[in-house]
Amino acid sequence: MVSDFFYPNFGGVENHIYQLSQCLMSMGHKVVVVTHSYGDCRGVRYLTNGLKVYYLPRLPFYQQASFPTLLGWARLLRVICLRERASLLHGHQAFSTMALEAAINARSLGLKVVFTDHSLFGFADPASIVLNKILKAVLADVHAVICVSHTSKENTVLRACLRPDSVYVIPNAVDASQFTPDPRVAWPSDPESEEVVLVVLCRLVYRKGVDLLGLVLPPLLARHPRLRVLVGGDGPKRKLLEKVVSDHGLGDRVALCGAVQHEHARDFMVRGHVFLNASLTEAFCMALVEAAAAGLVVVSTAVGGVPEVLPPDLIVLAEPSAEGLLVGA
């Protein structure tokens, strides 16, 4: 497994790689993860069940993607593949330069290559155009491509000009034993008069719809006097939310709880009854599945692959606008 994104970084791709590795190991395969070093986390480390992780000395230069040098670490990769007697290389995330380069180098070593794309990308802006061209070049020689939703499959097929039947749709999954509902949570029988808690848990960045959230929260709280909101997560848009909260005097009803570690995510979520997701673009939102597994009602904007993720009785879809979210909530 090769990707720029692995622990100690937190995120959907990292969790996916880790859990996939654990499952494959429990089926008897040997899995080795190759990623770049994070601070003083470098060298070879062993995670649970003997999962071997190589933290290579690559330089991350933009959002944890390492600096692109096509042959810069080809020798290291070759040594690792030979030492571990690898027969398959699985790259993750189109944004990860390590994964793309490893796919090229592994093909010249004669390995089979599988690539998983976790995100949706646009077509119009210059960065996307360059990335799509690179992806097209790399995926031209890959044995199989995995996408996490049908919308993501359409997006990837268009971006990389792939044959659709070489793209497999395998959705992400959640370990339900880790996300169980809390039986002690009292479900309000009458949403109007009893206290209802709304939970938001995401990185506070633009693409997660934090601006929409800031627009929607004040009227929502005005409409339901017994509503409380818990916002977990941190990011550049936190100031915006704090400003909205202070401008409308909602400090006693909205709690900005800061970053929540993944192992505490379930405990954070079961404090609420409704999970709100206002993302502007999602290939497959893991948080929705985790929230549904934890027993919350999910309200989300219908963007990207979200309409495919949960059955209609578990999720309420909304238009990606402030009015739509108000209607949905």
Partner 1 sequence: MAEAPAESTSPGPGDGVGSGDGAEGGPSPAKWEKVLWKRQPFPDNYTDDTFLQHLVVNAELPPRRYWPLVVASAAVTQQACCCVAAGLVPLHLHAGRLGAGQVLAAAGGLLAAGYAACAVLGGQLLGGSVARGIRQCVLLVGGVWGLSPLLRSLAGTVSTDSVVALAVAGLLLHLGLHDYGFVNVLTDRMSGALSLGSGVMAAVLLAGRMRREADVFAVVLLSLELFLLSPFARRHVARACPTAHLALTAAMVGGAAWLLALASPAAAAAFLAAVAALTFVAPAALVRAHRFKARISGPWDEAAPHFPRELLLLPRAGRGQGAVVVVEGEGAGEEG
- Site for partner 1, residues 167 to 206, rule: CB under 8 A: 167-171, 173-177, 188, 191-192, 196
Would you count residue 48 as binding partner 1 (CB under 8 A)?
no
Q: Is 300 in the site for partner 1 (CB under 8 A)?
A: no
Which of 65, 86, 201, 215 forms a contact with partner 1 (CB under 8 A)?
Answer: 215
Angstrom CA distances, 167 to 135, 147, 200, 308, stand at 14, 7, 33, 17
Site for partner 1 in 216-235 (CB under 8 A): 218-219, 221-224, 227
Cβ of residue 56: shortest distance to partner 1, in angstroms?
25
Closest approach, Cβ 39 to partner 1, in A, equals 30
Residues in 87-116 at the binding interface with partner 1, rule: CB under 8 A:
none
Phi, psi of 153 (to 5 degrees): -65, -45
Does position 162 interact with partner 1 (CB under 8 A)? The reply is no
The span from the CA of 279 to the CA of 268, in Å, is 19
Nearer Cβ to partner 1, position 81 or 148? 148
State the minimum distance, in angstroms, from the CB of residue 303 to partner 1: 5
Is 305 near partner 1 (CB under 8 A)? yes
Q: 71 or 222, CB closer to partner 1? A: 222
x/- letters, 258..297, toward partner 1 (CB under 8 A):
---------------xx-----xx-xx----x--xx---x
Stretch binding partner 1 (CB under 8 A), from 60-68, 70-78, 94-102, 313-321:
313-321
- Would you say 60 or 188 has its CB closer to partner 1? 188
Nearest approach, Cβ of residue 327 and partner 1 (Å): 3
Question: Toward partner 1, which CB reaches closer, 2 or 77?
Answer: 2
Task: Name the one range near partner 1 by CB under 8 A: 31-39, 49-57, 98-106, 242-250.
Answer: 242-250
Give the number of other CB atoms < 10 A from CB of residue 153: 21
323 sits near partner 1 (criterion: CB under 8 A): yes
Rounded least distance, CB 278 to partner 1, Å = 9
What is the three-state SS of the chain? CECCCCCCCCCHHHHHHHHHHHHHHHCCCCCEEEEECECCECEEEEEHHHEEEEEECCCEEECCEECCCCCCCHHHHHHHHHHHCCCEEEEECCCCHHHHHHHHHHHHHCCEEEEEECCCCCCCCHHHHHHHHHHHHHHCCCCEEEECCHHHHHHHHHHHCCCHHHEEECCCCCCCCCCCCCCCCCCCCCCCCCCEEEEEECCCCHHHCHHHHHHHHHHHHHHCCCEEEEEECCCCCHHHHHHHHHHCCCCCCEEECCCCCHHHHHHHHCCCCEEEECCCCCCCCHHHHHHHHCCCEEEEECCCCHHHHCCCCCEEEECCCHHHHHHHC
State in angstroms the smallest separation of the CB of 189 from partner 1: 9
One of 124, 126, 183, 186 touching partner 1 (CB under 8 A): 124
